[in-house]
C-alpha cells in the first residue's frame, strides 16, 4: 500500500509540475492552398458552464501551430457565450462560437459549418496537453485516418454469462495493457464522422444520449469502430484534467450507466460488438528515458 501511495504521489507531483500555460505563442508557416488541410486540423471544444476552464484550455491549444480553427460548441440556453475579448489575444483569430438552440450532448458532433480540414480534434473544456503531444497525435492519426486517435483509453468487455457489456476504467487498462476505446474528450477523427453520426446512428440513438445526459462519446466510439473495423490508437502523453472531481464520471452509477449505454449502442449497430482490442500505444521516442538526446 505504501508503495502504491508513493507511486501515486510521484505521478501527481509530476503532473502538478507541468506548466501548460507558459507555452510560447504559436508560430506557423501555413499558407492557404499549400495542402494545409493535411498540415492542420480543426478543434471542436465542447463546453458547459465552465467558462474559466474553457478560457484556460482554449488559450493553451490555440498556441499549437497545427490548429487551423477553434470552434466552441455552446449549448447553454440560459447564458450567452463569453465575448472574444474574454480570451487572450493570440487565441481570438482562431475562435468561432457555434451556438445551438437546443441543449444536447449530441451538439459536440453537430457541425453547423463543415470543418475545412480533414482532421477534427474533439476536446472537452477541462483538458490540457502540450503542443508537441498534440502534434504527435495528429501525425499518428494521419497514418490511420479511418480510426480514432486519442489520449484517454478505456476497455469494453463482455460478460459472457449475461451477454452484457462492461465499461472499464483507466486503471483496468493500466493493469491489463489492453483497450478498445478512446474518449472523445481529447481525440482525433475524420470530419466525415460528424455527418455519419447523424446519418448512420438512428434518431432513437441520439435521443438516448439526450435522455441519459451521457454516452455521446460511447456512441461515437462505437460508430467509428463499426465503420472502420479497426481499433482506436492510444497516444501516451502528459495531460491534465481540470474537471476530474466534478465530472459525470465521478458519479457512483457511472460505470453501470456506461454499461447500459454500450448494450444499447451495440444493439443499434447490429448486435455484434464493433470494438477491436489493441495492446499497443503510440509514444514519442523522446519520452523514453533511454532515448539518446
**Residue at 25 is within a domain:** no
**Residue at 16 is within a domain:** no
Q: What is the tens place of the pLDDT at every residue in 105-119? A: 999 999 999 899 999
Please list the active-site residues: 217
Kindly tell me if the per-residue pLDDT of 135 is higher than 70. Answer: yes
Q: What is the CATH number of the domain that holds 193?
A: 3.90.550.10
pLDDT of residue 199: 94
The structural domain count of the chain equals 1
Q: What is the mean pLDDT of the chain?
A: 85
**Residue at 12 is within a domain:** no
Q: What is the 3-state secondary structure (H, E, C) of the chain?
A: CHHHHHHHHHHHHHHHHCCCCCCCCCCCCCCCCCCHHHHCEEEEEEECCCHHHHHHHHHHHCCCCCEEEEEEEECCCCCCCCCHHHCCCCCHHHEEEEECCCCCHHHHHCCCCCCCCCEEEEEECCEEECHHHHHHHHHHHHCCCCCCEECCEEEEEEECCCCEEEEECHHHHHHHCCECEECCCEEEEECHHHHHHHHCCCHHHHHHHHHHCCCHHHHHHHHHHHHHCCCCEEECCCEEECCCCCCHHHCCCHHHHHHHHHHHHHHHCCCCCCCCCECCCECCHHHCCCCCC
Q: What is the tens place of the pLDDT at every residue in 67-125? A: 999 999 999 999 999 999 999 999 999 999 999 999 999 999 999 998 999 999 999 99
**Residue at 10 is within a domain:** no
Q: Give the range of the structural domain holding residue 162, as residue numbers without chain letter.
A: 36-287
pLDDT of residue 34: 37
Q: What is the tens place of the pLDDT at every residue in 148-173? A: 999 999 999 999 899 999 999 989 99
Q: What is the tens place of the pLDDT at every residue in 235-257? A: 999 888 876 545 545 456 889 99
Total-model pTM: 0.85
Amino acid at each position: 500500500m505504501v508503495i502504491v501511495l508513493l507511486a501515486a504521489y510521484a505521478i501527481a507531483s509530476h503532473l502538478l509540475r507541468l506548466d501548460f500555460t507558459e507555452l510560447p505563442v504559436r508560430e506557423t508557416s501555413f499558407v492557404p492552398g499549400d495542402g494545409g488541410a493535411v498540415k492542420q486540423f480543426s478543434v471542436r471544444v465542447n463546453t458547459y458552464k465552465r467558462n474559466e476552464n474553457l478560457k484556460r484550455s482554449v488559450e493553451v491549444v490555440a498556441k499549437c501551430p497545427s490548429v487551423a480553427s477553434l470552434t466552441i460548441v455552446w449549448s447553454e440556453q440560459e447564458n450567452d457565450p463569453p465575448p472574444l475579448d474574454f480570451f487572450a489575444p493570440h487565441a481570438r483569430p482562431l475562435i468561432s462560437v457555434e451556438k445551438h438552440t437546443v441543449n444536447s450532448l449530441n451538439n459536440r458532433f453537430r457541425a453547423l459549418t463543415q470543418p475545412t480540414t480533414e482532421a477534427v480534434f474533439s476536446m472537452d473544456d477541462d483538458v490540457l496537453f502540450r503542443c508537441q503531444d498534440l502534434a504527435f497525435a495528429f501525425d499518428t492519426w494521419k497514418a490511420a485516418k479511418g480510426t480514432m486517435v486519442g489520449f484517454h483509453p478505456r476497455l469494453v468487455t463482455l460478460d459472457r454469462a449475461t451477454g452484457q457489456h462492461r465499461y472499464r476504467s483507466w486503471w483496468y487498462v493500466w493493469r491489463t495493457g489492453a483497450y478498445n476505446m478512446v474518449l472523445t474528450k481529447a481525440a482525433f477523427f475524420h470530419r466525415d464522422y460528424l455527418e455519419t453520426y447523424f446519418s448512420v446512428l438512428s434518431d432513437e440513438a441520439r435521443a438516448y444520449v439526450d435522455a441519459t445526459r451521457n454516452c455521446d462519446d460511447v456512441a461515437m466510439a462505437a460508430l467509428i469502430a463499426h465503420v472502420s473495423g479497426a481499433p482506436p490508437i492510444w497516444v501516451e502523453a502528459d495531460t491534465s484534467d481540470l474537471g476530474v472531481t466534478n465530472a459525470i464520471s465521478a458519479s457512483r452509477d457511472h460505470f453501470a450507466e456506461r454499461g447500459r449505454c454500450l448494450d444499447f449502442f451495440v444493439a443499434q449497430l447490429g448486435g455484434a460488438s464493433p470494438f477491436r482490442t489493441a495492446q499497443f500505444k503510440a509514444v514519442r521516442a523522446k519520452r523514453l528515458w533511454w532515448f539518446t538526446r
